[in-house]
């Protein structure tokens, strides 16, 4: 264990001890490294610098592990997704290795609430608040690393892709429950990279704040829909759908514009029918609760299907005989100032993780592109795909087993 | 008391009762309507719709009162500041009255976690999380209301104002600790207004999340500085600096770009000297703690002043014999994707409240414009001023006593 890791472990221990001493009822306010949404009392603890940081600030997600953080980690409140391209003239395997070594070291420290070596802003890193970093490799980086080639995401007929949201050589997904920490962490990683890669785009997003959600609660998008109900929740499901044998996964990013102006013209019934689920609880229109199986055979008193076969839910479900057509959705909302046309500028930074997009994302999206009642109000305007290297041990850097051979 | 107000009061009562029953130590997790940063346990309570909403979600700020909310309210984590202009052809007094009546009714309900009448999205309003709305009148609206004319903010020599961040007829400041709630609340108010006013700009900002700050903790800006140390904190100070006799105040908005790229070239000493305060605790460089008075006469062993007379703190302090040159600062950070030039696109949505900008904001800003070491790294790119009408009683709407005569 490095000195840094020891330091963090000690802080956690102190936090746990003080919580226990206070009252049994304080369990709900524990400062243990819990999923986002499961902490957030101002009771606080004495930090190593003599300042009191409330519990959400102290909450951390482990950086090292079999897999990278930020994939099956419960979605935090804030996202900065930054696409980087290699500098002109390109980057060789050695350059990519140097960048990964430097990024990993800094990300690991920031994740634990410690300042990166040489940082002049230690005040800005003290509240990790479930900060996570996830690195992804675009096709050129995959080639440099000698990893298995990435699947290509085909063009879909309804796509209106804008070049500015396109494929990049690298991506950093930075998530956390504190917007100031996420902002500083992003700034730090961007300024560390310019010898090798510079940012091409940044996609910022948000969900409910930690402290307004129950642990495990499915987030809502700006159409008011619960988004992510059918996600893999058990380790077994995640192994089936998300993780490759080497611990890696593949991320697909789609920027989806949502036409709030037109959507809001609909009554609630139409909104629910286009989705196939109720807006309040997210239950299938055939009844039950959010996590109950839809009954696609159910009919109303006129003999019509209760769940429209063209609804988003019906079209997104795995095709018969293809149970592999599932994935982990980890989408964030965006809501920006209206552009010159005065219309809403809102939507989804749709992010999903899977073993193989050719067998998971792509056939599902092809089906939605062919027919989905939601298509009237959504447009895909960005697309990219990244290989997410496996997780790290304490003394290793991202993709080390691929780059350092 | 309206049915709506009763409903909210009942929810508060239930929340308070359950917290008391659980444990004395749970005081720190109370769901009473407390300042931002002083709540946030996931313990939750049974809401009226049968769903459990964690405590931060339930926290509310009173809508009605002598003054509008969102001024001396401790700054929440998120800001949407929306500038509106009257529709072409203009709006008369009757139109402005109708808009205020409608906005007030909806804002009051949203503040309490209730859906506005006719809303099709009750799910999106259930976690107010200290939501506040503050309406401001630009010169044309002030004239319609027959209120005292607004002070003009003069042009300062260093200003590089961009028209797109300029004066508008109305402004809505929407703040809260939950970004999804703030987003929906903004959307609701914007779509309610088009007969009378349409949004011209939206300035979005953030501070530390609730749950990572101690109650009353001064927020940090992106330069790492504590920002707002000398704010009026007692009711007496606020009456002196902020509130006019009729309960109104005046808001000045300045959009200030901060050049992160150049700022980060500085060592810590230079950063602290340009501000006049330490970065870690915000204490004056002459010693003590954040809230201790600076000693401008203190010298170092070479006889040089410890606090540079050209530092931001020294220049921003009230001129001798002018104790009225103080104001309430309520600034938010912005940190957007870099623009085409690839440079940082970060800064401050600087908002301040005062009785009279001519005697408070303007002389201070004139002094800073003349000389302030921070000027090397900051540029004012937007400017606007608004009259903030007094607060409301339960049966009244914003500016009613001015409009409905």
**Does residue A12 form part of some domain?**
no
Distance, CA of A100 to CA of A398 (rounded, Å): 6
Give contacts of B23 with chain A, Cβ < 8 Å.
Answer: 23-26
Q: Closest-CA residue in chain B for A45?
A: B214
**pLDDT string in tens for chain A (405-residue length):** 333 333 333 333 333 333 333 333 322 333 333 333 333 333 333 333 344 557 899 999 999 999 999 999 999 999 999 999 999 998 999 999 999 999 999 999 999 999 999 999 999 999 999 999 999 999 999 999 999 999 999 999 999 999 999 999 999 999 999 999 999 999 999 998 889 999 999 999 999 999 898 888 999 999 999 999 999 999 999 999 999 999 999 999 999 999 999 999 999 999 999 999 999 999 999 999 999 999 999 999 999 999 999 999 999 999 999 999 999 999 999 999 977 666 789 999 999 999 999 999 999 999 999 999 999 999 999 999 999 999 999 999 999 999 987
Q: Is residue B23 within 8 Å of residue A24, measured between CB atoms?
A: yes
CA distance B82 to chain A (A): 9
DSSP string, B313-324: HHHHSPPTT-TT
Q: Assign A396 to helix, strand or coil.
A: coil
**pLDDT computed for residue A342 by the predictor:** 65
Q: Do A40 and B41 touch (CB under 8 A)?
A: yes
Q: Assign B28 to helix, strand or coil.
A: helix
**Does residue B265 form part of some domain?**
yes
CA distance A239 to chain B (A): 30
Which residues, including other chains, have CB under 8 Å from residue A85's CB and lie 6 or more apart? A168, A169, A170, A197, A198, A200
Q: Do A53 and B333 touch (CB under 8 A)?
A: no
Share the mean pLDDT of chain B: 88
**Does residue A33 form part of some domain?**
no
* Res B168 pLDDT > 60: yes
3-class SS letters over A310-353 = CCHHHHHCCCCCCCCCCCEECCEEEEECCCCCCCCEEEEEEEEE
Q: Just list the catalytic residues of B.
A: 227
Give contacts of B336 with chain A, Cβ < 8 Å.
Answer: 204
CA distance B244 to chain A (A): 33
**Does residue B102 form part of some domain?**
no
The residue segments making up the domain with residue A346 are: 61-405
Closest by CA to A341, choosing from B246, B199, B148, B173, is B199
**pLDDT computed for residue A53 by the predictor:** 56
| CB-closest option in A209, A214, A333 to B209 | A209
Q: Is residue A332 within 8 Å of residue A348, measured between CB atoms?
A: yes
Q: At what angle do helices A93-111 and A179-192 cross, to 10 degrees?
A: 160
Give contacts of A260 with chain B, Cβ < 8 Å.
Answer: 187
| CB-closest option in A25, A123, A344 to B26 | A25
Q: Is residue B315 within 8 Å of residue B185, measured between CB atoms?
A: no
Ramachandran angles phi, psi of B58, nearest 5°: -80, -15
Tell me how many residue pairs between chain A and chain B have CB atoms under 8 A apart.
227
Q: Within a 13 Å sphere around the CA of A121, how many CA atoms are in the beta-carbon half? A: 24
| CB-closest option in A24, A129, A220 to B212 | A129
DSSP E strand stretches across A197-344: 197-206, 249-258, 328-329, 332-336
Q: Closest-CA residue in chain B for A263?
A: B120
DSSP E strand stretches across A38-77: 45-46, 52-53
Q: Do A209 and B178 touch (CB under 8 A)?
A: yes
CA distance B47 to chain A (A): 13
Classify strands B197-206 and B78-86 as parallel, antiparallel or unpaired: antiparallel
**Does residue B346 form part of some domain?**
yes
**pLDDT computed for residue B343 by the predictor:** 72
> Is the torsion defined by CA of B253, B259, B260, B265 positive or negative?
negative
A311 CA to centre of own chain: 25
**Does residue B361 form part of some domain?**
yes
Which neighbouring-strand residues pair with A347? A257, A334
Distance, CA of B96 to CA of B93 (rounded, Å): 5
Pick among A25, A198, A209 to test the B interface (most B CBs inside 10 A): A209
* Res B5 pLDDT > 50: no
Classify strands A378-388 and A170-176 as parallel, antiparallel or unpaired: unpaired
**pLDDT computed for residue B46 by the predictor:** 36
| CB-closest option in A184, A211, A337 to B201 | A337
Q: Do A211 and B77 touch (CB under 8 A)?
A: no
**Does residue B157 form part of some domain?**
no
Q: Closest-CA residue in chain A for B186?
A: A335
Q: Is residue A371 within 8 Å of residue A362, measured between CB atoms?
A: no
Percent of chain A that is helix, strand, coil (3-state, to 5): 30, 20, 50
| CB-closest option in B120, B198, B268 to A267 | B120
Each residue's pLDDT tens digit, B299-325: 999 999 999 999 999 999 999 999 999
Name the domain count of chain B: 2
CA distance B359 to chain A (A): 33
**pLDDT computed for residue A240 by the predictor:** 97
Q: Which two tokens stand for residue B194?
A: 């088009």
Each residue's pLDDT tens digit, B237-270: 999 999 999 999 999 999 999 999 999 999 999 9
Distance, CA of B330 to CA of B227 (rounded, Å): 9
Give contacts of A56 with chain B, Cβ < 8 Å.
Answer: 40, 209-212
Instruction: Characterize B335-372 residue by residue with b for buried, 16 or more Cβ atoms within 10 angstroms of its Cβ, and e for exposed.
Output: beebeeeeebbbbbbbbbbbbebeebbbbbbebbbeeb
Q: Do A181 and B212 touch (CB under 8 A)?
A: yes
Q: Just list the catalytic residues of A.
A: 227
Structure-model confidence comparison of residues A359 and B25, the more confident one: A359
Ramachandran angles phi, psi of A207, nearest 5°: -130, -175
Q: Do A42 and B211 touch (CB under 8 A)?
A: yes
Q: Within a 13 Å sphere around the CA of A379, how many CA atoms are in the beta-carbon half? A: 11
Give contacts of A25 with chain B, Cβ < 8 Å.
Answer: 22-23, 25-26
Q: Residue A305 carries which DSSP code? A: B
Pick among A24, A31, A54, A87 to test the B interface (most B CBs inside 10 A): A54
Q: Residue A299 carries which DSSP code? A: B
Q: Is residue A188 within 8 Å of residue A116, measured between CB atoms?
A: yes
Which runs of consecutive H residues, i.e. helices, occur in A112-149? 139-145
Q: Which two tokens stand for residue B90?
A: 């203009």
Q: Do B211 and A41 touch (CB under 8 A)?
A: yes
**Does residue A227 form part of some domain?**
yes
């Amino acid at each position: 264990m490095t000195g840094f890791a020891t330091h963090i472990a000690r802080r956690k221990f102190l936090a746990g001890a003080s919580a226990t001493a206070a009252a049994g009822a304080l369990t709900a306010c524990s400062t243990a490294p819990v999923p986002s949404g499961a902490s957030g009392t101002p009771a606080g603890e004495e930090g190593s610098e003599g300042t009191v940081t409330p519990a959400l600030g102290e909450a951390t997600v482990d950086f090292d592990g079999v897999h990278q953080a930020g994939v099956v980690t419960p979605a935090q409140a804030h996202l900065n997704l930054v696409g980087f391209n290699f500098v002109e003239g390109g980057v060789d395997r050695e350059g990519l290795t140097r960048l990964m070594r430097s990024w990993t070291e800094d990300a690991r420290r920031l994740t634990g609430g410690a300042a990166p070596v040489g940082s002049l802003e230690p005040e800005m890193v003290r509240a990790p608040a479930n900060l996570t970093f996830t690195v992804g490799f675009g096709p050129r980086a995959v080639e440099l690393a000698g990893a298995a080639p990435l699947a290509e995401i085909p063009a879909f007929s309804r796509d209106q892709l804008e070049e500015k949201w396109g494929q990049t050589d690298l991506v950093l997904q930075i998530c956390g429950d504190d917007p100031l920490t996420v902002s500083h962490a992003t700034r730090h990683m961007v300024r560390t990279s310019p010898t090798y890669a510079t940012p091409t785009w940044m996609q910022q997003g948000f969900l409910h704040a930690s402290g307004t959600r129950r642990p495990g609660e499915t987030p809502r998008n700006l159409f008011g829909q619960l988004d992510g109900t059918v996600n893999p929740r058990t380790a077994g499901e995640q192994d089936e759908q998300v993780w490759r044998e080497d611990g890696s996964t593949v991320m697909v990013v789609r920027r989806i514009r949502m036409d709030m102006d037109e959507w809001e013209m609909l009554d609630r019934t139409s909104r629910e029918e286009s989705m196939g689920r109720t807006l309040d609880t997210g239950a299938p229109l055939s009844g039950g609760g959010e996590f109950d199986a839809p009954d696609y055979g159910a009919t109303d008193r006129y003999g019509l299907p209760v769940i429209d076969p063209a609804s988003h839910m019906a079209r997104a479900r795995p095709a018969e005989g293809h149970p592999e057509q599932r994935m982990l959705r980890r989408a964030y909302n965006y809501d920006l100032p209206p552009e010159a046309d005065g219309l809403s500028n809102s939507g989804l930074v749709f992010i999903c993780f899977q073993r193989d997009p050719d067998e998971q994302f792509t056939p599902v999206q092809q089906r939605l592109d062919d027919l989905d009642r939601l298509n009237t109000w959504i447009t895909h305007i960005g697309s990219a795909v990244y290989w997410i290297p496996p997780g790290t041990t304490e003394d290793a850097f991202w993709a080390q087993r691929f780059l350092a051979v």
